[in-house]
Structure 1
Amino acid sequence: MTSAPRTVRRVLPAVLLVLAATGCGEGGATEPDGSAAASCAYVVTYADHSYLDTGDTDFTVGKKLGTATVPECDDTPNDPEGAVPEGRVTAYAVEGTDPAVAIAVGDTPAEAILMKVR
């Protein structure tokens, strides 16, 4: 049985919010020159495209497309506990938008967040 697409207006799931806001390493990392070190942004890949979290919460989730990949994050190479391994998440179409432009990702349609091609 297929259910109708739902309009998603939710707060981001806690794990994804933490990844998007702080990266995958612990805060305060600096380069040898004292500048801030880069952290991992929440990026997924699907169908040879890379997508970034938009923070938008007003969109309509469409049909399930398949699986998107969350790349490994290791922005603190000298801290073996700071690495986040590669992961997988379900990719969904966004109604009215070509998947080459935007998709939604999440464990369920109700938890999906909007991602746009970078």
Structure 2
Amino acid sequence: MTGAPLTVRRVLPAALLVLAAAGCAEGGAAPGGAAEASCAYVVTYADRSYLDTGDTDFTVGEKLGTATVPGCDDTPNDPEGAVPEGRVTAYAVEGTDPAVAIAVGDTPAEAILMKVR
């Protein structure tokens, strides 16, 4: 990435929310009648799994490479409910070791903060 780093202070972009929602579809009624989500927004980078933090105050650093978004099929009897494996760009987070946290998104401006789980 060239130029000054991008500081991110905003709500998650709608496109990423749609992706996360597709991966977190309600899987039906759980015991007691409550609906239960079985897929979380997780990415894998450098043999580590990262979860979305919801944090919006961080600074995107240089491009690291590509992270994998695992596929999800929390509705096995509904072939249209499956979400295939995907790829997303991984970025460093200024002041944080990538072994602890990364940012992911199609562009630095759309990146969301993910922390190792």
Structure in which a larger fraction of residues adopt strand: 2
User: How far apart are 1:27 and its partner, in Å?
Assistant: 6.0
User: What is the TM-score of this pair, normalised by structure 1?
Assistant: 0.86
Deviations along 1:52-87, one digit per CA (max 9) or x if unpaired, are: 000000000000000000000100001000000000
Q: Is the 8 A contact 1:56 1:114 kept in 2?
A: yes
Deviations along 1:32-52, one digit per CA (max 9) or x if unpaired, are: 885644421000000000000
Gaps of 5+ in 1: none
Deviations along 1:79-99, one digit per CA (max 9) or x if unpaired, are: 000000000000000000000
User: How far apart are 1:26 and its partner, in Å?
Assistant: 4.7
Q: Is the 8 A contact 2:41 2:52 kept in 1?
A: yes
Deviations along 1:4-46, one digit per CA (max 9) or x if unpaired, are: 21101121121322444574435645xx885644421000000
Identity, in percent, stands at 91
User: What is the TM-score of this pair, normalised by structure 2?
Assistant: 0.87
Q: Is the 8 A contact 2:90 2:104 kept in 1?
A: yes
Q: Aligned residue for 1:33?
A: 32
Q: 1:39 to 1:19 in 2, by over 3 A?
A: farther
Deviates more, 1:3-12 or 1:103-112: 3-12
Gaps of 5+ in 2: none
Alpha-carbon RMSD across the aligned residues, in angstroms, is 2.2
Distance in 2 (CA, whole Å) between partners of 1:6 and 1:37 is 36
